[in-house]
Chain A
Amino acid sequence: EVQLLESGGGLVQPGGSLRLSCAASGFTFSNYAMSWVRQAPGRGLEWVSTISDSGGSTYFADSVRGRFTISRDTSKNTLFLQMNSLRAEDTAIYYCAKDYFRGSYLNAFDIWGQGTMVTVSS
């Protein structure tokens, strides 16, 4: 079964850091671009970041560029999101998502995790 499982969320103070992980299973992880999408409480979806299948290219929303870093470890089939200088407006459920097509990116996401909650508050 194709599955994504996020972890690492929690409560952090403004200005703090957090590292999210997403463990992938059931597909060849290295063949697909991966992304993070977040959803603030009661709000819509917001694309955060994407990393290419090789890890050589990364893309970020303006709202997080310079503060967040995306990476992947193919040996562990795991996607990461390093979040620094966190702000109250970063509070959200963070989903990891798999690109639908092998070798493509910034297209469509066919598999989503259940999400991990990040709360930025003092």
Chain B
Amino acid sequence: QSALTQPASVSGSPGQSITISCTGTSSDVGGYNYVSWYQQHPGKAPKLMIYEVSNRPSGVSIRFSGSKSGNTASLTISGLQPEDEAYYFCTSYTSSSTLPFGGGTKLTVL
């Protein structure tokens, strides 16, 4: 079960937009619309930000959006705010009925 591939870090200034990628294979990201994204602040439990590629749970800011092209899913955060600084993890259902996570991306708001 290979973890999905995410960049180790991304950064942006307040007000800017950033995109975090999550690359898998046709057996996971590319084969199913069951990609989720989680935000985790240090010492806290993860928080669901996006489910099923592009859907936001109630209460999540519209600044967060998700998409997918082929075997790569993406999380875009627009209008960056200081409180967005956190780790972000993607996950996807797989053809083996497992749910691997990406390695995580640290977002720094400059």
Taking beta carbons and an 8 Å cutoff, which residues of A are in contact with B? Answer: 35, 37, 44-47, 50, 59, 61-63, 95, 100, 106-110, 112-115
Within 8 Å by CB of A112, from B3, B46, B91, lies: B46
In the complex, besides A45-B89, A47-B98, A112-B47, 14 extra interface pairs with C-beta distance below 8 angstroms are: A37-B46, A44-B87, A44-B101, A44-B102, A45-B40, A59-B99, A95-B46, A100-B48, A107-B36, A107-B51, A107-B52, A109-B36, A113-B45, A114-B45
Minimum distance in angstroms from B17 CB to a CB of chain A: 23
Minimum distance in angstroms from B2 CB to a CB of chain A: 10
Within 8 Å by CB of B100, from A47, A108, A109, A110, lies: A47
Q: How far is the CA of A37 from the CA of B52 in the complex (A)?
A: 19
Contacts across chains A and B counted by CB atoms under 8 Å: 66
Minimum distance in angstroms from B14 CB to a CB of chain A: 26
Within 8 Å by CB of A115, from B45, B57, B91, lies: B45
CB neighbours of B103 from chain A (8 A): 44
Given contacts A108-B48, A109-B48, A114-B45, contact A47 B99 (CB under 8 A): yes
Report the interface size for chain B: residues with CB under 8 A from the other chain.
25
Minimum distance in angstroms from A120 CB to a CB of chain B: 21
Chain B 15-51: CB-based contact to A (< 8 A → 1; otherwise 0): 0000000000000000000101010100001111001
B87's nearest neighbour on chain A, judged by CB, is: A44
CB neighbours of B69 from chain A (8 A): none
Q: Is the CB–CB distance between B48 and A46 below 8 Å?
A: no
Minimum distance in angstroms from A101 CB to a CB of chain B: 9
Q: How far is the CA of A115 from the CA of B34 in the complex (A)?
A: 24
Minimum distance in angstroms from A7 CB to a CB of chain B: 15
